[in-house]
Amino acid sequence: MLLLKSAAEALLLPPMSLLVLAVAGLLIERRYRRLGRCMAWVGVVGLLVLAMPAVGGSLLVALERDLPLTPPSGAPPQAIVILGGDLRRSGTTIMIEHPGPLSLDRLRAGAILSRETHLPILITGGPQRSGEPSIAAVMADSMQHDFQVPVQWIEGSSRDTWQNAQFTAAMLHEQNISSVYVVTQAWHMRRALIAFAHTGITVTAAPVRFDRLPTPLAMDFVPEIGGWRDSFYAMHEWIGCAWYELR
């Protein structure tokens, strides 16, 4: 189910959806000439625009504004929640899971925050595939062995950010914890905050790396592969924020 969801997101979100649109336009161009050409042009131009660092960067920066970075005076954080990110797999006969780049960034930020605050850590994130260990379990192992920071709780059943918040909140309420730091990428933080807003848990954002606002240089308007990555992350988050607001 999770793999189907991921595949659907990859196909339906830009830039892949724009490529599909352009190809579909070319396929129907002989029969529906005007419509086919219009679809093809929209797809190609859209791909070029979203590949510009200025576009993807601006979309990400807009997500990262006005985050609650200062703990509320009446409800200081009592724990650190690190949201599960990605995994990388290695090996031939035996597959071994390791934290991916996003997860490592979150672990590093969580470890630093833990050393500064001495607060207990909860890591949340379920398995990506059936029969595999949860993201939270892999990240917790890395946190303890690679960063020498203990993990107090592991939530290994959630499948997305919404469930990260719901399942984590249930565990925190059992420990009489009502205020936490949440660690995740800055561009992912807004959607996480919306998810936690429904749980009764007060959240102070502890984002990983803020993106810079693109400078008005010519190079920022030259399409590159990294622009597609940033645009995909940004569109995924903006759509996810809208969906969470409606839930």
Per-residue pLDDT of 43-82, as tens digits, reads: 999 999 999 999 999 999 999 999 999 999 999 999 999 9
Is 147 inside a domain boundary?
yes
73 lies in some domain: no
Buried b (16+ CB within 10 A) or exposed e, 11-22: eebbbebbeebb
Q: Is residue 1 in a domain?
A: no
Taken in order 153, 158, 161, 164, the sign of the CA dihedral is: negative
d(C-alpha 84, C-alpha 123), whole Å: 7
With 0.75 as the threshold, say if the pTM is over it.
Answer: yes
Is the residue at 239 inside a domain? no
* Res. 93 pLDDT band, cuts 50 70 90: low
Is there a single domain that holds both residue 43 and residue 90? no
Note the pLDDT tens digit of each residue in 169-211: 999 999 999 999 999 999 999 999 999 998 999 999 999 988 8
Residue range of the domain that includes 184? 79-208
Helices first, then strands: H and E counts in the chain: 9, 7
